[in-house]
Structure 1
Amino acid sequence: MTLRPYSASPLRALLQIGADLTVVVWCWFWVKFAMAVDDAVRSVGDVGYRVQGGAAGIKDGLDGAADQAGQVPLVGDTFGRPFTAAGGAAQTIADAGRDLGDRVTGLALPLALVVALAPVLSVVLLWLPARYRFARRAGETAALAAMPGGQSLLALRALATRPVHDIARISPDAVDAWRRDDADVVARLAALEQRRAGVRPRPVRPSPAALGGAGGA
């Protein structure tokens, strides 16, 4: 089956192209916004990692001071104990900073996906099926119009689905004309259905009766 994504009518095709571009821009905007959210959340996580790095550096300095104090004869252990305790506190702060960085960074991607997918899917899930239905119907209608007897089937579809006033404009007794296989009426009814599907109708050939009437005049 051949899909026809755009209508043969220039105005309708222009509207379809405009709608498609609008959806693309909408999706692009929310993807970029989600990437910005991801960067912002990760920057908050970086604060935790910077705290970890600073506290780890302080701990290393305090551990070095504790080692130096421990070398003092007789009272080294006493002098070194406060530095060791402070180093343990610095390690606790470093661990808390790492935990903060890990937790916040772990939330960055899921949060960005939620921010992007909610608005994108809300539009795409409405737009894509509608575009596919149009493309499929246009392709099926074009293929049917090219088949033997396809014009008659399209005319029958028009009789079944189109408003009465549209049918009356073609013929006041369109059903009887279709039963008699009036070529002119069948072609005009088929053209009505093709235009609705966004397919360019085949040229309508006047029926022999119409040609005879024109010749007699």
Structure 2
Amino acid sequence: MVREVRSGRMRIYAERPGRAGLQLLADLLALGWIWLTAFVARTVHDFVLAMQGPARTLAGAGESVRGAFDDAARTAASLPFVGDDLARALGAGTGAGESLVAAGQEQMEAIARVAFGTTVATVVLGAMPVLFVWLPLRVRYAQLAQSAVTARAVDSDLLALRALTRRPVRQLMRVAPDPATSWRRGERPVLHALAALELRSLGLRAPRTPPD
């Protein structure tokens, strides 16, 4: 009995194979969805970063222009008489190259920010079904199954009461014509049947104690 109570603390899957199989399938689908979300996010990130190509080309061209004018300015500076003036004139071309480099780098940084933001948005949107649908359902089941297994190890009365408050009326009427009255009178066969009904709804085995 103590072993059964302890096992209720980690009751993640049902005891009945059919229900447990469906739960396992749902878990695998959730994991697959998470993997798909990560894959799509990575693909989107790489796709957006690929747009850095023109900006990288622009920055490379700016570096080439800057390097060419730097070399020309240094060469011109060594000329007598007009070297300094010519070097200063060529310095304007160096500045233009630096402007191209800066423009290319700014574009690459902007695209990188867009890629990061798009990736985060993809992950958040993709994770919402798992966080707000699958996870709450699994946690809720674990809580209900934990308490049900614990109650099963002690007595059927509490499970019978839970069945009266949680199960549809048509299911209760199949157990007894007046299940509430039977529960108040403590009729053991009805209590056992109600407890079995509640446990069955969670995919758990019926109480081992046979009805009186």
TM-score (norm 2): 0.85
The alignment status of 1:162 with 2:167, answered yes or no, reads yes
Look up the match of 2:189.
184
Alpha-carbon deviation of 1:51?
Answer: 2.8
The answer to whether the Cα contact below 8 Å between 1:3 and 1:136 also exists between their aligned partners in 2 is no
Contact 2:65/2:93 (<8 A) preserved: no
Pair 1:75–1:177, CA change in 2 (3 A): closer
1:194 and 1:201 in contact (8 A); partners too? yes
Q: Indicate conservation of the 8 Å contact 1:155/1:190, yes or no.
A: yes
AA at the equivalent of 2:72: A
Residue in structure 2 matched with residue 98 of structure 1 by the alignment: 105
Gaps of 5+ in 2: 1-7
Instruction: Map Cα deviations across residues 130-180 of structure 1 (whole Å, 9 max, x no partner).
Output: 110011101100101111xx3012112223332333223223343343333
Q: How big is each residue's C-alpha offset from its partner over 1:6-29, in whole Å with a ceiling of 9 and x where there is no partner?
A: 122222221111111111111111
Whether the 8 Å CA contact 2:156–2:207 is kept in 1: the answer is no
Tell me which amino acid in the other structure corresponds to 2:110.
R
Q: Secondary structure at the match of 1:200?
A: coil
In the TM superposition, residue 193 of structure 1 has moved relative to its aligned partner by: 1.0
Structure 2 equivalent of residue 211 of structure 1: none
In the alignment, which of 117, 121, 126 is matched to residue 119 of structure 1?
A: 126
Q: Residue in 1 aligned with 2:64?
A: 57
Gaps in structure 1 of 5+ consecutive residues: 208-217
Structure 1 residue 82: Cα displacement: 4.3
37-46 or 95-104, larger mean C-alpha shift: 37-46
C-alpha deviation, 1:81, in angstroms: 4.5
Report the counterpart of residue 67 of structure 1 in structure 2.
74
**Contact kept? 2:76, 2:86, Cα under 8 Å:** yes
Whole-angstrom CA distance in 2 between matches of 1:176 and 1:52:
84
Aligned partners of 1:116, 1:161: CA distance in 2, in Å? 37
Which ranges of 4 or more aligned residues in structure 1 deviate by more than 4 Å? none
Aligned counterpart in structure 2 of residue 41 of structure 1, from 48, 70, 75: 48
* Corresponding residue to 2:95 among 83, 88, 96: 88
After the TM superposition, which of the residue ranges 46-55 and 64-73 deviates more from structure 2? 46-55
**Matched residue count:** 205
CA distance in 2, matches of 1:39, 1:52: 20
1:198 aligns with 2:203: yes
Cα distance in 2 for partners of 1:84, 1:179 equals: 99
CA contact (8 A) 1:184 1:204 kept: no
TM-score w.r.t. length of structure 1:
0.83
1:140 to 142, 147, 151: 147
Distance of 2:129 and 2:169 partners within structure 1: 37
Residue equivalent to 1:212 = none
1:129 positional shift: 0.8
CA RMSD of aligned residues (A): 2.2
Structure having the higher Rg: 1
Select between 86-95 and 53-62 the one with higher mean Cα deviation: 53-62
